[in-house]
């Protein structure tokens, strides 16, 4: 499995793809991340065409087990961030 791109590598690739400098590409990436964070933390969802949909889902309170001791613990309701991958991306990886 290949190593994931670091932010520096992603910014460099984005700058090359956009035909601009790294500072502009870094600003664009930071703006996209800020918009996604704001929307998802507010309970909304963001669809990145060709990539997928990022959304927040609430999990109900439940009983969980500590694997080390076997003790049952009550876990409060919480929220988790999920991502559904777009069909086009799945097909490009598999096809």
Please give the pLDDT value at position 68.
93
**What would the pLDDT profile of 74-89 be if each residue is shown by its tens digit?**
999 999 999 999 999 9
pLDDT, one tens digit per residue, over 17-76 is 999 999 999 999 999 999 999 999 999 999 999 999 999 999 999 999 999 999 999 999
pLDDT of residue 2: 84
Domains of the chain: 1-42 (no CATH), 45-95 (4.10.520.10)
Q: What is the pTM of this model?
A: 0.78
- The pLDDT value given to residue 77: 94
DSSP, res 4: P
CB 52 within 8 A of CB 34: no
Query: What's the burial of 25, exposed, middle or buried (CB within 10 Å: 0-12/13-18/19+)?
Result: buried
């Amino acid at each position: 499995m290949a190593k994931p791109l670091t932010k520096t590598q992603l910014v460099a690739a984005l700058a090359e793809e956009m035909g601009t400098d790294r500072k502009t590409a870094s600003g664009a990436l930071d703006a996209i991340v800020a918009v996604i964070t704001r929307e998802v933390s507010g309970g909304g969802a963001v669809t990145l065409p060709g990539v997928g949909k990022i959304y927040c889902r609430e999990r109900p309170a439940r009983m969980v087990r500590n694997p080390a001791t076997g003790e049952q613990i009550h876990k409060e309701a919480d929220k988790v961030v999920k991502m559904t991958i777009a069909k086009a991306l799945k097909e490009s990886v598999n096809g």
